[in-house]
Structure 1
Amino acid sequence: ITCNSFSCGLLAGSVFGAVIAILGGILIPVGDMIIERTVKKEAVIEPGTTAYDNWASSEIAVYRQFWLFDVKNPQQVVQEGAFPEVQEKGPYTYKTRYLPKANVTFNPNNTASFVLPMGAIFEPSMSVGPEEDTVTTLNLAVAVSVSASHILLDMVINSTNSSLFQHRTVKELLWGYNDPILKDTIGLFSPYNGTSDGPYNIFTGKDDISKVSIIDRWRGETKLSFWNDTYCDMINGTDGSSFAPFVDKDVPLYFFSSDICRSVSASYEATMNLKGIEVYRYSLLPSTLASPVDNPDNKCFCRNYETTKNCTLAGALDISSCSDGRPVFISLPHFLQGSEYLREVVLGLHPDEEHHKTFLDVEPITGFTLNFAKRIQANMMYGPAKDITVLNKVKDYTLLPLAWLNETATLDDKTADMFKRELISRIDMLEIVQQVLLIAGVIIFFVCLIAFFCVRRKSKTNLG
């Protein structure tokens, strides 16, 4: 094939375009490999990585907002056996998890161990009132002591001028007060300040990135001892603060929460935009707290056939086995996703999916949780007892809400900008380069090739 300088230039241009297009095509898998290698390297929990900086940092503020349930008709409940009517008061907000991990140790088996110091600092500007606000609530000592000798308990209740309900400040109910019946300090979250959660042992991901942040041991054990069942005593997943990179939204995320003494899973709900960053929102399924009738896997979480109506009640988890025997039940706020019965015997509850569900917003490339809301309600059980004066009018076992909390944290603007600059913008730039090369190469190839054949045809026509 002979060609003049112009047609040869066009032919060379088409070859050049093909080369550029091929280069753009090659950059796609190569670029993906570069991104994957970089992310996996930075996701390992060891000093010097992005994951370690986030893991070790205590700069992201974690808050616990509390709403307490004020009983409006205590006398009618005691004297007439009426259903309790409650009204929530809140939020009362505390800054928690502001202390860095303690006793951090990196172990030879590619795990890291640590404890989480716990503390709470009241935030008046984020609260509806001071900690000295009072509520009418269940007498915790009566609920705790009801399994003791009823005659003796009735004598103690009368001698201390106690009743089924009591008036307590927000601070007392949450963090503890000296109880006249128990002669000890009691509170929903007592003791808290100065204590710690753990120790935890987690995989660093150095030898297997798919295991990063997964809990290996909690309190020195690879399984729990609360439920006397292999399935329910499993410690699954991470602590919820991060997961393995390259999250697959079709696969549930598993995490363990010491607050509820069990592991749970969360499923993909929607893709959200968080300060310009695409995140996957995961939330708990109704099956998590479903009754064993609907979810047989939950049978081992049912501890008391009488108080749970032969394990047919949904929406409440009896954690007495991990709360020093106190009759504490954990649920979602306002018994969201719970049996209707729970809201029929306690008046004034209004569950709302948007405000009461637990969710995690996870960045899918790194697996980091960038925003979350853990919502838990603490309830205590009381029931009929003919030889206890304050209980002899009670007709049935009642699960009374005491308080619900929203533990939440989200990345700040500075962290969001850094995240977008260091990760998102680089990935976007690489994708733009790939697309520009591929599209430009294809265009150059076809334009030059078509022009070349047009010139050749014109040359043949002129020669003819």
Structure 2
Amino acid sequence: MGCFSIKCGLLAGSVFGAVIAILGGILIPVGDMIIERTVKKEAVIEPGTTAYDNWASSEIAVYRQFWLFDVKNPQQVVQEGAFPEVQEKGPYTYKTRYLPKANVTFNPNNTASFVLPMGAIFEPSMSVGPEEDTVTTLNLAVAGAYSLLPPASHILLDMVINSTNSSLFQHRTVKELLWGYNDPILKDTIGLFSPYNGTSDGPYNIFTGKDDISKVSIIDRWRGETKLSFWNDTYCDMINGTDGSSFAPFVDKNVPLYFFSSDICRSVSASYEATMNLKGIEVYRYSLLPSTLASPVDNPDNKCFCRNYETTKNCTLAGALDISSCSDGRPVFISLPHFLQGSEYLREVVLGLHPDEEHHKTFLDVEPITGFTLNFAKRIQANMMYGPAKDITVLNKVKDYTLLPLAWLNETATLDDKTADMFKRELISRIDMLEIVQQVLLIAGVIIFFVCLIAFFCVRRKSKTNLG
């Protein structure tokens, strides 16, 4: 009778183990469904969600570090036609994007409208020197007028240059070159990023994801339009993806991420590079491919970004984007710092450049479950073109078109320790706990089932032996 009770107990134990294992197995899809539903709910951009709190907040510090290129041989360039030799000087750091989004409006079609106020506050403790440090740099007015005026006007331009004691190069402070100075030729304020303080980017119109979470943060309109008007081409004028600050949840590393940047007047894509650990949080690192700024010879899709056949050697140069059509006519070219991923020619005619993949590439670190960008580095370089001109004294010794780097910036932001701890506590730890419970139930159930089942057969065999 005792053996019978033991066998019943072991059978019951086996059944119990099987039930626990099944429960653990059931919890896997059920738990995944709970996680997915919760994340999708919190990823919608509307008041009360985690996504909205991150989207609306201006607490995460965004910095722009600037490195300026100091021309070491200006006299030799003008008088002998020598290649310019530059030396990087920086960083000079400014806190930007410290102002919250303005004019936020939620629309009936599940979109939200807003503008991004822009401002820059100098951070001396994060800089190599004061804003009053000087650099020898290209004369923006001379290079700009040369690029914009037809050759028939060059004699008149030469007279203006001489009458104002100007030259191809000038000495300017960091503050003047970045944010503006009164130019003697144009009689106006000019600078690489002038005007900036007190201006805004946008307005933007983005999808909130309320009706379709896959569209969350995707730009619907920029400045009231669904496409750009800079490139006169359907493909190049597309506004694709988000602004890069977040993407749809449950990111697939095999699918590129698309985002639009008003700084370069176009949309780009980034591809998965590696899985990284950011303050205990697993993130996917995405970076721009070399094809982004490749010449049309290597990437035919870029043909519509080529604006000038003469200065780009029949569109065979890679690594520089002419954005004059979206910068009020200023002949500015955008590239990666030190012409990273650009044609060798660009570095042959400008001495002192040393591209480095680690320090000069643009990347995004995206948390794959939520789609939030938790760390990023946007690195771009501003350049201007000058070339030969027989009727302009300061250019008549120049032998070929030269794209001269003026400055490059590294715009960065990363989550702080407090936000990282909150992120791990509210999301990662809960997901980990659920997975642990699932695994414990499944493993424990299987062990109990097999131990009880084996013990049952052992007891049964022993009882038969005793009866025999």
Question: How far 1:22 sits from its partner (Å)?
Answer: 0.1
Give a deviation string over 1:115-145, Cα, whole Å, max 9, x none. Answer: 0000000000000000000000000000xxx
Question: How far 1:153 sits from its partner (Å)?
Answer: 0.7
Give a deviation string over 1:313-335, Cα, whole Å, max 9, x none. Answer: 00000000001111100000000
Give a deviation string over 1:284-338, Cα, whole Å, max 9, x none. Answer: 0000000000000000000000000000000000000001111100000000000
Give a deviation string over 1:350-371, Cα, whole Å, max 9, x none. Answer: 0000000000000000000000
The count of corresponding residues between Structure 1 and Structure 2 is 457
Counterpart in the other structure of 2:334: 330
Partner SS for 2:240: coil
- Separation in structure 2 between the aligned mates of residue 324 and residue 35 of structure 1, nearest angstrom: 48
Question: How far 1:26 sits from its partner (Å)?
Answer: 0.1
- Separation in structure 2 between the aligned mates of residue 194 and residue 7 of structure 1, nearest angstrom: 82
After the TM superposition, list the runs of 4 or more consecutive aligned residues in structure 1 that deviate by more than 2 angstroms: none
Partner SS for 2:60: coil
Question: How far 1:151 sits from its partner (Å)?
Answer: 1.1
Partner SS for 1:437: helix
Partner SS for 1:4: helix
Query: 2:356 aligned with 1:352, yes or no?
Result: yes
Unaligned runs of 5+ in 1: 143-147
Give a deviation string over 1:399-432, Cα, whole Å, max 9, x none. Answer: 0000000000000000000000000000000000
TM-score, L = length of structure 2? 0.97
Give a deviation string over 1:52-82, Cα, whole Å, max 9, x none. Answer: 0000000000000000000000000000000
- Separation in structure 1 between the aligned mates of residue 182 and residue 235 of structure 2, nearest angstrom: 38
- Separation in structure 1 between the aligned mates of residue 180 and residue 310 of structure 2, nearest angstrom: 29
Question: How far 1:197 sits from its partner (Å)?
Answer: 0.1
- Separation in structure 2 between the aligned mates of residue 70 and residue 19 of structure 1, nearest angstrom: 73
Question: How far 1:149 sits from its partner (Å)?
Answer: 1.3
- Separation in structure 2 between the aligned mates of residue 326 and residue 97 of structure 1, nearest angstrom: 24
Counterpart in the other structure of 2:241: 237
Question: How far 1:441 sits from its partner (Å)?
Answer: 0.1
- Separation in structure 1 between the aligned mates of residue 6 and residue 316 of structure 2, nearest angstrom: 85
Give a deviation string over 1:130-174, Cα, whole Å, max 9, x none. Answer: 0000000000000xxxxx811111111000000000000000000
Aligned-residue CA RMSD (Å): 0.5
Unaligned runs of 5+ in 2: 143-151
- Separation in structure 2 between the aligned mates of residue 351 and residue 24 of structure 1, nearest angstrom: 53
- Separation in structure 2 between the aligned mates of residue 120 and residue 226 of structure 1, nearest angstrom: 27
Question: How far 1:19 sits from its partner (Å)?
Answer: 0.2
Identical positions, percent: 99
Counterpart in the other structure of 2:51: 51
Give a deviation string over 1:365-418, Cα, whole Å, max 9, x none. Answer: 000000000000000000111000000000110000000000000000000000
- Separation in structure 2 between the aligned mates of residue 301 and residue 278 of structure 1, nearest angstrom: 36
- Separation in structure 1 between the aligned mates of residue 381 and residue 176 of structure 2, nearest angstrom: 17
Partner SS for 2:17: helix
Question: How far 1:446 sits from its partner (Å)?
Answer: 0.2
Query: 2:316 aligned with 1:309, yes or no?
Result: no
Question: How far 1:106 sits from its partner (Å)?
Answer: 0.1
- Separation in structure 1 between the aligned mates of residue 38 and residue 198 of structure 2, nearest angstrom: 39
- Separation in structure 2 between the aligned mates of residue 149 and residue 42 of structure 1, nearest angstrom: 60
Give a deviation string over 1:92-113, Cα, whole Å, max 9, x none. Answer: 0000000000000000000000
Partner SS for 1:234: coil
Q: Which moved more, 1:346-355 or 1:150-159?
A: 150-159
What does 1:95-114 align with in structure 2 at a 5 Å threshold? 95-114=95-114
- Separation in structure 2 between the aligned mates of residue 326 and residue 385 of structure 1, nearest angstrom: 19
